[in-house]
Copies of this chain bind each other. A is one copy, B any other.
Amino acid sequence: MNSRRSASPDIEALARDLRAGHHAALARAITLIESRRGDHQAAARDLVQRLLSETGKAIRVGITGSPGVGKSTTIDALGMSLIERGHKVAVLAVDPSSARTGGSILGDKTRMARLSASDKAYIRPSPASGTLGGVAAKTREAMLLCEAAGFDVVLVETVGIGQSETAVCDMTDFFLALMLPGAGDELQGIKKGLVELADMIAVNKADGDNIKRANLAAGEYRGALHILSPRSEHWHPPVVTYSALTGKGIDTLWQNVLDHRTAMNASGEFAARRQQQQVKWMWSMLEQLTMTRLRSDASVRAKVKRIEAEVASGRVSPALAAEQISGML
């Protein structure tokens, strides 16, 4: 990091450039959010607070899928289709396992060839951080900045490791699960937690020889979802097929996102979900702050680690351990 970047930035100017939609300003602002320096974090809080009234207007869509499902190709195709409709599209990621390298950024741009070449799109790789909570917090704030910069669709992708899908679901309005075709025993299992989160299941690669298998897979997923209570009585998650390669079905994907929004707006669930998410973010960020405090000092960190080990081995009760850790805050 060079010295100009390290200097405390002029938040007012940054906010102005960001509002004007300058990609470079947006990138600098997200870098500020991702910084671990105390003064940068204070400046980032200030920046987000200033821009807050200009956030919240995008359609926020979470997208999950195992490696190989064609997530990047799908986002590239969907993103280009949205740009043709006049949208500005931001693509963010929550990947707690990612190491932040030039290669990773280059990788994202290569994987989304058309979208990365468009000035109506902004692609940002996952922040690197030790914990999912930290990664998710930074991505949530990056999303707010993208909205303030005029992006009216935000796509948040995740690789579906551990709890990252829940984190992405908690920051988006619609959660889309991508699947591969397959039939019978070849059909890959749906991760159980995913079933609870998905607002739609979309089977990719419904093209050429795969169309029949994709339809079979969709039927099996429909059967599995059939006897599960939907999260909302106003939305039964559809199962659709599409092809990111040919573009067939991409419009239907988006139509479902819009239909979902219409239904959620009509029932009042849209506003309620956003409000609940915001309050949940607040408590989650309080937890982050607490954890940061416990990690910032080496001797405290060592003590917490020792107490954790004693709890795991059954020598100290969780209640006593919590009391001990609480005393260190």
Instruction: List the interface of chain A (C-beta within 8 A of B).
Output: 44-45, 48-49, 52-53, 55-56, 137, 140-141, 144, 187, 189-193, 195-196, 220-221, 223-224, 226-231, 275-276, 278-279, 281-290, 307-308, 311-323, 325-326, 329
Specify the main secondary structure of chain A where it touches its partner.
helix
Q: List 13 extra interface pairs beyond A192-B229, A193-B196, A224-B228, CB under 8 A.
A: A48-B320, A49-B319, A52-B315, A55-B314, A189-B230, A190-B228, A221-B227, A275-B313, A279-B308, A282-B311, A282-B325, A286-B290, A290-B326
A287 (CB) vs chain B CBs: closest residue: B287
Chain B residue contacts of A317, Cβ below 8 A: 45, 48-49, 52, 141, 144
The answer on a CB contact under 8 Å between B229 and A227 is no
Chain B residue contacts of A221, Cβ below 8 A: 227
A278 CB contact (under 8 Å) in B196, B287, B318: B318
Chain B residue contacts of A285, Cβ below 8 A: 318-319, 321-322
A223-B223, A317-B52, A319-B45 given as contacts; is B228 within 8 A of A312 (CB)?
no
The answer on a CB contact under 8 Å between A319 and B141 is yes
A326 CB contact (under 8 Å) in B223, B286, B308: B286
The answer on a CB contact under 8 Å between A286 and B229 is no
A206 CB to nearest B CB, Å: 18
- Which of A187, A192, A279 has the most C-beta atoms of chain B within 10 angstroms of its own C-beta? A192
Chain B residue contacts of A286, Cβ below 8 A: 290, 322, 325-326
A193-B196, A286-B322, A286-B325 given as contacts; is B314 within 8 A of A53 (CB)?
yes
A316 CB to nearest B CB, Å: 7
Chain B residue contacts of A192, Cβ below 8 A: 195-196, 228-231
Chain B residue contacts of A282, Cβ below 8 A: 307-308, 311, 318, 321-322, 325
Chain B residue contacts of A230, Cβ below 8 A: 189, 192
- Which of A55, A275, A326 has the most C-beta atoms of chain B within 10 angstroms of its own C-beta? A326
Cα-based distance from A2 to B313 in the complex (angstroms): 39
The answer on a CB contact under 8 Å between A228 and B195 is yes
